Amino acid sequence: MWLVVLPLCYWGALVAHPGWFLYIGIRHYGVWFIDPFALLASNDALARGLDVYAPNPLDYFGRAHLYSHWWFILGRLGLTRADNFWVGLTLGLTFFAAAVAWLRPRTPGELLWYLAVLVASPVLLAVERANADLVIFILLTPVVPCLLSSRAGWQWVAVLLIMFAAGLKFYPAVAGLVLLAPAERRMGRWRVVGGALGLALVAVNVAPGFHRVLALMPPTEGLMTFGAINLFTPFEIGRLAPWLSIGLATLAVVIWWRANIFCGWDIPRMALSLWLHFVLGAVLLCGCFFSAPSFAYRWIFALWLAPWLWWAARETSAPRAVRRLTEVTIVLLGAALWLDPMTGAILASQIGRVPGQTLVRAADIVFRVEQPITWALFICLLGFLTQFVRDGLRHVRVGVAPDTHAVQRHPAGPSVASGSHSTGIRG
């Protein structure tokens, strides 16, 4: 109950006093749900015969269409800018319902941890603007339950959901990695092959629009953003930065693969849902981090990380190295979610007292200092993902017992028990 009441009270206070948004690191433009408005404005522009990939006079900020052509189905459904408020409100409420249905704390400490993620400013930023990433979160929410179903039909639904999400916003294609989840050998192989072919078809379909959108992307930099290449911004190395990022990420994966810190531990079967949700959230965040800078909206996928991190840090059967990695990840995730909003709050309180240029320089210093912290977080996430890929490839190659994936929905919290009922996920 508290996980519902406390965030709603917090968000309600901000709705009543929009000026307070500034003090939690969010710039509120005096208009609610500005991101679906841009999508609906693109549909309205298309209906008028305008070029949707040019500055749009029907949008508040003249934004061009920055997504795939799949979003134009909104206009065919009869939606216009006049529907923006209820569309945004529906998105926000559906996202909140999905989040609290997943985060079910059993102890006060667990409640505080989940609240720290759920009410973080990046999550609130996505809700305040009803960003399209909420749609991706909602679409992918059933993926893990579908993969854990004993029915092949539901597992194919998971593949279709990932394909649809990728068609809408491109980056969710990386969620296809979760298709390596344990399954009966034949199903596991067909699922991976089907997912690869399906995503290839989606890529072919959206590629022309993707190339047009790529040239229109606004600069993504400063507080309330994240991206691997930000670490190299002070060095002004230009096109070399993405290659350095890829190189460091590859090196980290190689080191984690050789370290194999999960060796000798079977993840309990009852924790498989926690684990797969964690993998889903981690691969989406890593995909965004290493591909290009992203706005803070994407941190909403950290909600899928929280239960596994809480459980694994306290699981006595886990190797000590895994528990330590989990504890470090918790600290780094908390810093990633809260450092920018706290900085924004402090700087906002000094507006009118301190020269603007001084505030800008202070924000730039914090931005540079936090880059190694953010990188450390994603290197930790790569450690978990490396283990998942190792096990996933083995499952696809040799298969697992047919009843391995028939798992109960997660009882988030310390009540997830270890013991003889395991996934057979061994390093």
Contact 47, 75 (CB under 8 A): yes
Q: What's the pTM?
A: 0.91
Give the H or E element holding residue 294: strand 294-295
- Of 407, 421, 417, nearest to 315 by C-alpha is 417
Q: How far apart are CA 322 and CA 383, in angstroms?
A: 10
For the chain, the distance separating the N- and C-terminal CA atoms, rounded to the nearest angstrom, is 38
Q: How far apart are CA 423 and CA 421, in angstroms?
A: 7
- The radius of gyration computed from the CA coordinates of the chain, to the nearest angstrom, equals 22
Please report, for residues 35, 53, 56, 71, 189, the alpha-carbon distance to residue 66 in angstroms, rounded to integers and kept in the order given. Answer: 11, 8, 11, 10, 35
One pLDDT digit (tens) per residue for the chain, 427 residues? 889 999 999 999 999 998 888 888 888 888 899 999 999 999 999 999 999 999 999 999 999 999 999 999 999 999 999 999 999 999 999 999 999 999 999 999 999 999 999 999 999 999 999 999 999 999 999 999 999 988 889 999 999 999 999 999 999 999 999 999 887 767 888 899 999 999 999 999 998 888 788 777 777 878 899 999 999 988 878 788 889 999 999 999 999 999 989 988 888 888 999 999 999 999 999 999 999 899 999 999 999 999 999 999 999 999 999 999 999 999 999 999 999 999 988 888 888 888 888 988 998 999 999 999 999 999 999 999 999 999 888 777 666 544 443 333 444 444 454 333 344 444 3
Q: How far apart are CA 378 and CA 426, in angstroms?
A: 23
> Residue 25: which region, alpha, beta or left (left: phi > 0; alpha: psi -120 to 50)?
left
Q: Could you say which DSSP state residue 295 is in?
A: E
> What is the pLDDT at residue 425?
45
| All residues at 6 or more sequence positions from 9 whose CB lies less than 8 Å from its CB, including other chains | none
Contact 405, 150 (CB under 8 A): yes
Contact 134, 97 (CB under 8 A): no
> What is the pLDDT at residue 119?
95
If DSSP codes are grouped into helix, strand and coil, which group holds residue 239?
A: coil
If DSSP codes are grouped into helix, strand and coil, which group holds residue 426?
A: coil
| All residues at 6 or more sequence positions from 14 whose CB lies less than 8 Å from its CB, including other chains | 20, 21, 24, 124, 128
Q: What is the pLDDT of residues 44-89, one digit of tens each?
A: 999 999 999 999 999 999 999 999 999 999 999 999 999 999 999 9
Q: What is the pLDDT of residues 284-299, one digit of tens each?
A: 999 999 998 999 999 9
> What is the pLDDT at residue 399?
60
> What is the pLDDT at residue 420?
35
Token pair listed for 254: 């190689």
